[in-house]
């Protein structure tokens, strides 16, 4: 892999706890010497947050699609009636 990708991998290993303790210490020392590294780490952390936000939206859309199938498919009509009945009783 080219150097920039190796740097990404190193930060990835460090942030996700996949680095051996000795290597992690070395990485932390490097952070004091390399002025770009803290910024790169900050951006990478924010990247993970964006990946998670993107992913949870996708999963939620899949769940909503399942709910739509339940609400419309004839084979689930009995189940949905039983659910609707729960709210009629209250």
Partner 1 sequence: MNNNKLSTVKQREAFFMALYKKAFPIVARYVARMGGSLEEAQDIFQDMLVIYYEKVASAQAEIIVNEKAYLLGIAKKLWVRRYKAGLKNQPLNDFDIEVIPDEQLANGKILHYLETAGKKCMELLKAYYYDGLPVSNVATLFGYSGTHSATVAKYKCLEKVRETVKQNSLNYADFIE
Residues 6-36 as b or e (16 or more Cβ within 10 Å = b): ebeebbeebeeeebeeeeeeebeeeeeeeee
66 near partner 1, rule: CB under 8 A: yes
According to CB under 8 A, which one of 9, 19, 25, 72 is a site residue for partner 1? Answer: 9
Closest approach of Cβ 60 to partner 1, in Å? 5
According to CB under 8 A, which one of 34, 38, 58, 77 is a site residue for partner 1? Answer: 58
Q: What are phi and psi of 17, to 5 degrees?
A: 70, 25
Size of the site for partner 1 (CB under 8 A): 43
- Tell me the two tokens of residue 43: 């951006």
> 16 or 20: whose CB is closer to partner 1?
16
């Amino acid at each position: 892999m080219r150097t920039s990708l190796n740097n990404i991998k190193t930060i990835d290993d460090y942030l996700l706890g996949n680095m051996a303790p000795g290597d992690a210490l070395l990485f932390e020392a490097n952070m004091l010497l390399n002025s770009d590294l803290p910024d790169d780490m900050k951006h990478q952390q924010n990247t993970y947050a964006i990946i998670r936000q993107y992913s949870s939206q996708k999963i939620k859309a899949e769940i909503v699609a399942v709910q739509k199938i339940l609400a419309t498919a004839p084979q689930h009509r009995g189940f949905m009636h039983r659910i609707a009945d729960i709210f009629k009783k209250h």
